[in-house]
């Protein structure tokens, strides 16, 4: 069965941009298109040789890159370049703006800041595992909790 281009475009948006599952999308459309049809669309290569999965992975990588400490530092650096190129700035305001941006860059790239973020992520992973994988084998849960807790404690010591 052929589907309207709008339906396929919406399914693609839901899959790639929103990260929805094939089952969720099929349920959203009440089975028309079916799960199999959506899976075929997601696995079919386009004119650039990429699948919807490839685009989803690329989007996730781009978001990670933008939010990484280096990505944030690059954004701040670009903002600094914009400030430098403004010719009509008061010298006092210019120096203040540059000082604030440099301080922001230093805090983003500071190892202690990164360690604090890592610590927070580990805490969230442990909570997620406890909540969403309650049916996992007890040995698996204990192993994961021990490894993450041990690493968390090691990260804590660096703070």
Together in a domain, 126 and 137: yes
Together in a domain, 9 and 58: yes
Together in a domain, 129 and 84: no
Together in a domain, 100 and 125: no
Together in a domain, 46 and 74: no
Together in a domain, 48 and 81: no
* Pick from 133, 132, 149, 152: nearest CA to 141: 133
Tell me the per-residue pLDDT of 102-112, one tens digit each, with 9 for 90 and over: 676 666 666 66
Would you state the pLDDT for residue 78?
75
Tell me the per-residue pLDDT of 31-68, one tens digit each, with 9 for 90 and over: 899 999 999 999 999 999 999 999 998 888 877 776 67
Together in a domain, 116 and 102: no
The tally of domains found in the chain comes to 3
Together in a domain, 157 and 125: yes
Together in a domain, 121 and 132: yes
Together in a domain, 100 and 115: no
Residues of the domain holding 26: 5-62
Together in a domain, 11 and 52: yes
Tell me the per-residue pLDDT of 73-107, one tens digit each, with 9 for 90 and over: 677 667 766 766 666 666 666 667 667 766 766 66
Together in a domain, 90 and 114: no
Task: Tell me how far CA of residue 106 lies from CA of 62, 66, 83, 120, in angstroms.
Answer: 23, 17, 18, 20
């Amino acid at each position: 069965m052929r589907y309207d281009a709008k339906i396929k475009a919406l399914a693609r948006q839901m899959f790639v941009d929103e990260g929805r599952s094939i089952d969720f999308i099929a349920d959203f459309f009440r089975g028309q298109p079916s799960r199999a049809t959506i899976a075929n669309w997601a696995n079919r290569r386009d004119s650039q040789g990429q699948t919807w999965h490839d685009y989803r992975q690329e989007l996730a990588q781009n978001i990670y890159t933008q939010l990484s400490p280096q990505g944030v530092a690059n954004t701040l650096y670009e903002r600094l370049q914009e400030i430098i190129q403004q010719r009509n700035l008061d010298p006092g305001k210019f120096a203040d703006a540059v000082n604030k941006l440099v301080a922001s860059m230093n805090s983003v790239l500071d190892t202690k800041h990164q360690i604090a973020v890592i610590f927070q992520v580990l805490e969230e992973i442990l909570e997620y595992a406890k909540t969403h994988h309650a049916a996992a084998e007890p040995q698996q849960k204990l192993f994961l909790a021990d490894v993450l807790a041990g690493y968390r404690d090691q990260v804590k010591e660096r703070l």
